[in-house]
Amino acid sequence: MAVSERKSAMIWAAAWFVGACFIYFVAIPIGIEEPSYATQSPALFPRVMAVTFGTLAVVLFVLEWRGFHTRNIENISPWFFVAPAVAAIYALLLEPIGFLITTGCALAALLLIFGERRPSTILIVSGVTAIGVHTIFVYLLHIPLP
């Protein structure tokens, strides 16, 4: 279903406002303890930022409602989540499987996503990059990798 750009912008602004409220009423009270010895509360600045964020979200909502475009909004297609999913799986598997194999597989997946279809190119780029990065970091720079 098509959603107008104006409505998309208003939904975004509403979402930001809800996020700001969550930060102010939930995250800060749970996440910051207020010691009795402190003359200034460590929660003061985070509260100020949350209020600023929420207020500006309301301003954005009103601006869009009244027809002032703030910036172009792009719709999110299902394909948006593919690359982040590959990246997340790669990060999770880095330690259990190891850098070389995980990196080779992740590179192959990303090359396929970016449109490369030749198996030889995928194998060469994945293999050379994984081995090359591993060699540079571990043997030249002495930085251990998973």
Partner 1 sequence: MLADIGSAIALVLTWQALLWITIGYSLGALLGAIPGLTGILGIALLLPLSFYLPPWVAIPMLVAIAKGSSFGCNIPAILLNTPGTPAAAATCIDGHKLALQGKGSKALKVNLYAGLCGDLFSDIVLILSAGLLAQLALRFGPAEYAAIMLFSLTVVGAVSTGAVTKGIMGAALGVLLGMVGTDMITGVARLDFGVLELTGGINMIALMIGLLSLAEIFLQAERLLSHKHSDGIRRETIPQSSHPDDSRITREDWPLVIKATAIGSLIGTAIGVLPGIGQSVAAFVGYGEARRFSSKPERFGTGTVEGVAAPEAAASAVNGANMIPLLALGIPGDVTAAVLLGALLIQGLAPGPLLFEEHRVTVFALFAGMMLTNLIHVPVGLLFIRAATFITRIKLSHMLPVIFILCVAGTFALNNSLFDVFVLVVAGFFGALLRKGGFAPVTIVIGFILGPLLENSVRQALLISQGRYLTFLERPISLLFIVLTLVSVVGSVVHARRANRRRGTRAESPATSNLQ
144 binds partner 1 (CB under 8 A): yes
129 binds partner 1 (CB under 8 A): yes
Which residue from 22, 26, 101, 115 is in contact with partner 1, where contact means CB under 8 A?
115
Enter the tokens of residue 16.
Answer: 């930001």
97 binds partner 1 (CB under 8 A): no
Which residue from 75, 119, 120, 139 is in contact with partner 1, where contact means CB under 8 A?
75
CB of 74 to partner 1, least distance (A): 5
Q: Which residue has the tokens 């600045």?
A: 45
SS3 assignment, position 9: helix
Q: What are the angstrom distances between the C-alpha of 16 and each of 12, 32, 53, 91? A: 6, 21, 8, 28
Q: Across the chain, which distance is largest between two alpha carbons, in Å?
A: 66
Which residue from 22, 26, 52, 135 is in contact with partner 1, where contact means CB under 8 A?
52
Query: 118 near 141, Cβ under 8 Å?
Result: no
How many whole angstroms separate alpha carbon 109 and alpha carbon 21? 39
Which residue from 21, 22, 50, 123 is in contact with partner 1, where contact means CB under 8 A?
50
CB of 83 to partner 1, least distance (A): 4
Site for partner 1 in 14-43 (CB under 8 A): 16, 23, 27-28, 30-35, 37-40, 42-43
